[in-house]
Amino acid sequence: MDFNNLHELLRGLYDEMLPLSATMATIAKGVAGLGALFYVALKVWQALSRAEPIDVFPLLRPFAIGLCIMFFPTIVLGSINAVLSPIVKGTHGMLDSQVLDLNKLQQQKDLLEKEAMLRNPETAYLVSNEEFDKKLEDLGWSPNDLVTMAGMYMDRTAYQMEQSTKKWFRELLEILFQAAALVIDTIRTFFLIVLSILGPIAFAISVWDGFQSTLTQWLTRYISVYLWLPVADMFSAMLAKIQSLILERDIEMLNDPTFIPDTGNTVYVIFMIIGIVGYFTIPTVTGWIIQAGGAGNFTRNVSQAAMRSGNVAAAGAGAVAGNVSGQLLNNGQKS
């Protein structure tokens, strides 16, 4: 099973379903047109009731959103994907380079472990058929030699079963690790398809007065979900780098002729388990990267503080003016 082909299949699925957003744009045009009519009428009526000049610039907002709805796959999705695609390609390149180094180091470590066991006469027959046959030839056919021969066969069988079990468990963890990545990518693709197809409806609803934040929230969620894949690639690259550092340390130790290797791969198994669990924290991490509403809240708070300060200053100025006027009246009466 090639998981890379499955990831490519999901990307192809997204590209195939992307044109469906044009179908929803037809419905969104009617909703946006009705919302624009009420929005413009409300703003004009408010300006007339207050005897204020009509500000034309805010009235252009519904028309700009309408243009985005009419050309949604090109203007909106095309622009966002064009900006975010280099991020995906960059993080995927980081992952490929780290995995390539990891595979080379793993092959080098396996070769050094075999050479280290061949240097030890007590373990050489476990990994080499030649050494095993040579040791059998050195034995005779006495009862003690037959017992030793049977023990060698049992040790060799136990070693092979142990290595097979460890290899099976390691491959199982690798499959689970790849499956976790595939789950994240599948959910990401599903969310992106839903956001893309129903995006024109979200844009149309944002035209209505009181629902302006819908547009900002849609953009925030789309970008956040789109960044799941780059964050997942960065997480995998980090794990691959950690494993590369561990392998480099093991290779350095294996170069020592007196070092006895440990073929348990316990550290590798631990980090595979950490990777499986860590994959499901990716949606939370991407939520930290982009958030909406912070600048708007800050501006609103600043405006409210400025208005309060202005009211306090006006009240203070009025009080001072009242005191001055009272003193002038008292002085006039005395004179």
d(CA 75, CA 3): 32
> Do 183 and 213 contact (CB within 8 A), yes or no?
no
Same domain, 145 and 18: yes
Q: Is residue 247 part of a domain?
A: yes
* Residue 312 CB neighbour total at 10 angstroms: 10
Structure token pair of residue 85: 């695609």
Burial of residue 287 (CB within 10 Å: 0-12, 13-18, 19+) is middle
What is the number of structural domains in the chain?
Answer: 2
Q: Is residue 334 part of a domain?
A: no
Same domain, 310 and 184: no
**What domain range includes position 304?**
297-329
What string of pLDDT tens digits covers the 335 residues of the chain?
Answer: 566 778 788 888 888 888 877 778 888 888 888 888 888 888 888 788 888 787 778 788 888 888 888 888 888 888 999 999 898 888 888 888 877 777 787 777 777 777 666 666 666 666 666 666 666 666 655 566 566 666 766 777 777 787 778 778 878 888 888 888 888 889 999 999 999 988 899 999 988 878 888 888 999 999 999 999 889 888 888 888 888 888 888 777 777 666 655 555 677 778 888 888 888 888 888 888 877 554 344 334 434 543 454 454 445 444 444 553 444 345 444 44
**C-alpha angle 52-56-60 in degrees, rounded to nearest 5:** 145
Burial of residue 24 (CB within 10 Å: 0-12, 13-18, 19+) is buried
DSSP state of 57: G
Q: Is residue 335 part of a domain?
A: no
Q: Is residue 175 part of a domain?
A: yes
d(CA 218, CA 199): 7
Same domain, 232 and 310: no
d(CA 178, CA 185): 11
Same domain, 18 and 104: yes
pTM given for the model: 0.70
Same domain, 304 and 214: no
For residue 50, report the phi and psi dihedrals to the nearest 5 degrees.
-95, 5
